[in-house]
């Protein structure tokens, strides 16, 4: 079945470091891909998305490119801040269907 | 900004007891969802709900689970007879349309002892 695999955390970085969180997927069709973020004590929030191959989603300095050839959707940010400390979830969904398929989440801690 | 709320934030119950987890979705949303995350595992879809009936459910959502929208604002998940393996974080979500962005609540941590 369809699935999402994320790199294991936790990831600890110093402020202004470069961030990559790897995400790969297995899918029978052509899903949309998402990154959600969960800050402490809050719900999952949509960070960015891409709906077709080669699309790049971006938001708040984060980027991810939908790579069909490598079935990947890696999250990157050039310079992380302490406020980026959170859990990041990669997910996929088909078209008008309701349910999201998530990875395990990767906890990011950014130290000053 | 409108948000999804969930109560309680943490529920502890004994095995075999019934629990009801409560969610207040965003007021003009029409689609409602429950997901769960067992510690260290993936966030898993449980059920979606539209027009007062279940529209999709996963294999996890067996006869022990039920959902209800008892009034115009609440959306509840009931587990009839809890098992140890039901211990997890339960997330509620809502969306305007089936394919539109889902807005998540902060989760209820259920601990079954």
Query: CB contact, 8 Å: A45 with chain B?
Result: yes
pLDDT of residue B77: 98
- A31, A24 Cβ separation under 8 angstroms: no
- B110, B90 Cβ separation under 8 angstroms: yes
**Chain B residues near residue A96 by CB distance under 8 angstroms:** 97-99
What mean pLDDT is predicted for residues B1-24? 95
Please give the Cα distance from B113 to B105 (Å, whole number): 24
What mean pLDDT is predicted for residues A22-34? 92
Query: CB contact, 8 Å: A112 with chain B?
Result: no
Least Cα distance to A15 among A86, A84, A107, A75 occurs for A84
Please determine, for residue A26, whether its predicted confidence score (pLDDT) is greater than 90. yes
Tell me if B42 and A99 make a contact (CB, 8 A cut-off). Answer: no
What mean pLDDT is predicted for residues A91-110? 87
Q: Count of CB atoms within 10 A of residue A108's CB? A: 21
Provide, rounded to the nearest whole percent, the portion of chain B with pLDDT above 70: 100
pLDDT of residue A95: 63
Band the pLDDT of B91: cuts 50, 70, 90: very high
Q: Which two tokens stand for residue A40?
A: 């402490």
Tell me if A97 and B105 make a contact (CB, 8 A cut-off). Answer: no
- Chain B residue with minimum CA distance to A104: B42
- Name the average pLDDT for chain A: 93
Provide, rounded to the nearest whole percent, the portion of chain A with pLDDT above 70: 96
Please give the Cα distance from A62 to A20 (Å, whole number): 10
């Amino acid at each position: 079945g369809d699935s999402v695999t994320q790199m294991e955390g936790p990831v600890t970085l110093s402020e202004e470091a470069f961030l990559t969180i790897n995400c790969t997927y297995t899918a029978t069709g052509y899903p949309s891909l998402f990154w959600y973020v969960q800050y402490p004590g809050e719900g999952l929030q949509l960070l960015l998305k891409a709906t077709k191959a080669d699309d790049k989603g971006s938001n708040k300095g984060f980027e991810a490119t939908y790579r069909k050839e490598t079935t990947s959707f890696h999250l990157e940010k050039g310079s992380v801040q302490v406020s980026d400390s959170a859990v990041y979830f990669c997910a996929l969904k088909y078209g008008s269907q309701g349910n999201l398929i998530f990875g395990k989440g990767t906890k990011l801690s950014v130290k000053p | 900004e409108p948000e999804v709320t969930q109560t309680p934030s943490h529920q502890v119950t004994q095995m075999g007891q019934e629990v009801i987890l409560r969610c207040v979705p965003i007021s003009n949303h029409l689609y409602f969802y429950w997901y769960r995350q067992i510690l260290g595992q993936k966030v898993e879809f449980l059920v979606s709900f539209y027009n007062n009936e279940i529209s999709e459910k996963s294999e996890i959502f067996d006869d022990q689970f039920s959902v209800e929208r008892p009034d115009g604002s609440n959306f509840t998940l009931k587990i009839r007879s809890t098992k140890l393996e039901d211990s997890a974080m339960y997330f509620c979500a809502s969306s305007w349309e089936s394919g539109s962005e889902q807005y998540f609540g902060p989760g209820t941590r259920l601990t079954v002892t």
